[in-house]
Amino acid sequence: MPYIAVKGTHDLYGEEASAYQVIQNVFKAVAEVYGYRPIETPILEYTDVFTRSTGEGSDVVRKEMYTFLDKGERSVTMRPEGTAGVARSLCEHKLCSTEDLPIKAYYAGPVFRYERPQLGRYRQFLQAGVEAIGIDSPRLDAEAICLAMSVLNLLGFENLKIKVNTLGDTDSRNAYKEALRAYFAEHIDSMCEDCKERLRLNPMRILDCKVEADQEIAKGAPKMRDYLSQEAEERFYKTLSILADREIDYEIDDSLVRGLDYYGHIVFEVHVASPSGKDYGAILGGGHYDGMLSEFGGPKEADHGVGFAMGVERVYGLMKEFGLLDELDTGVDIYAMPIGEETLDRAFPLVEEIRRLGYSVNLPFKTAKLGSYFKKAARAKAKFALIFGTEELDKGVVQLKNLATFEQKEVNIDTLDQTLDAEFEALEGEHHHHHEE
């Protein structure tokens, strides 16, 4: 049998891998600006970390987790989402008692869900997310949404729309669940098997059903906002007023519940449309949650959080489709072109010096004709060629050729650092000028 990647997984290489790095770097940079710090939790957790926090009613727990017994007969699960592991970590290390609250953490790493692989969806995929845990504030909820929007704006997305809903406090939710149970009980016989299970475990999950006939039935269901306590309602509108002050457009979507059971109060999704206006659905989602820490024995008074996550594959796919990666610089700065075998040994220390200046350089390990070098330089998307033979090196000079304009000049090796700095600064200037146009 040929060796191939496991179904639902994929390899990253070359430009795609570079683009993934760029997306994560933008995400991390924005999170840092908002005062978030990195956290890394293990990919493997004991299964009850997810069943306790994520809720047995969620599809993730019911049918998508990679769960198995390890050699000690303990049930372990490969991380299906980020929040539960972060909460477990904060509680295990008692961080809510020793650190200033809220604790603001960001992460980016692989998650695993056993679902039918479809276009752009994988069983192992990369998720980037944030969690702010430890205080209960509509401002913190609004800040998380602002952070999410900043990331997507910086990545170049323009036609964004935030859909928001509130799931209220515990009392509001319990009253609402009863109303939903009563409503769906009359229709459940004609609904899908999943919905029958959801009715028993958590009827709010039915609002998330993707079966069209069931969606039609759900349209007539009671609305959460009719069951909100006054406090929960005030809190929701406080968050929305902060977004309005920041001129962030949102629309209230009564059917939005998100896929995990721990959410309460505001939940949100950012939907994206193409430049031509075609709706591509949600690119990022999250919300507020309470009660997560106490599941892990954490302090009751700090038991609040807000977070969101985005799938990097999905972001990459849309950026590619919208042409947002066309300007991505994945090329090498300089392609060195030593002429003649005897220059190879002398080229090595020269190239190392240039790399120490912070420029990326490709140095061939056997010499070739200039024509072949130029083809390779084009494939490597090099910006400059550095050409030299024994004669040049003996004189202490090299030829520097701009591969976009084909201008070539002789440069003294002693002043090569200043010349390179000036040339790359000029390139940057052109790039910015081109952007402003």
Give the right CATH number for 14-169+229-321 from 3.30.930.10, 3.30.300.30, 3.80.10.10, 3.40.50.2300: 3.30.930.10
Q: What percent of the chain is predicted at pLDDT more than 70?
A: 95
Check residue 189 and give its pLDDT: 86
Average pLDDT value over all residues in the chain: 90
Minimum mean pLDDT among 114-118, 247-251, 411-415: which range?
114-118
pLDDT of residue 432 exceeding 60: no
Contact 274, 65 (CB under 8 A): no
pLDDT of residue 363 exceeding 70: yes
Q: How far apart are CA 408 and CA 410, in angstroms?
A: 7
pLDDT of residue 336 exceeding 60: yes
Q: What is the mean pLDDT of residues 212-229?
A: 87
Tokens of 2: 């040929």
Check residue 131 and give its pLDDT: 97
pLDDT of residue 57 exceeding 60: no
> Which residue in 159, 156, 118 sits closest to 319, CA to CA?
156
Q: What is the mean pLDDT of residues 211-240?
A: 89
Check residue 394 and give its pLDDT: 95
Contact 382, 336 (CB under 8 A): no
Domain positions in the chain are 14-169+229-321, 334-436
Confidence of residue 85 (pLDDT cuts 50, 70, 90): very high
Q: What percent of the chain is predicted at pLDDT more than 90?
A: 68
Contact 271, 281 (CB under 8 A): yes
Minimum mean pLDDT among 182-186, 270-274, 352-356: which range?
182-186
Confidence of residue 274 (pLDDT cuts 50, 70, 90): confident
Q: How far apart are CA 404 and CA 408, in angstroms?
A: 11
Check residue 258 and give its pLDDT: 67
pLDDT single digits (tens) 98-129: 999 999 999 999 999 997 766 667 999 999 99
Confidence of residue 431 (pLDDT cuts 50, 70, 90): low
Contact 201, 231 (CB under 8 A): no
Same fold, 14-169+229-321 and 334-436: no
pLDDT of residue 145 exceeding 70: yes
Residue positions counted in the chain: 437
pLDDT of residue 347 exceeding 60: yes
Kindly report the pTM of this predicted structure.
0.87
Check residue 436 and give its pLDDT: 53
pLDDT of residue 196 exceeding 90: no
Q: How far apart are CA 300 and CA 283, in angstroms?
A: 33
* 334-436 topology per CATH: Rossmann fold (3.40.50)
Q: How far apart are CA 404 and CA 380, in angstroms?
A: 13
Check residue 93 and give its pLDDT: 96
pLDDT single digits (tens) 277-289: 888 989 999 999 9
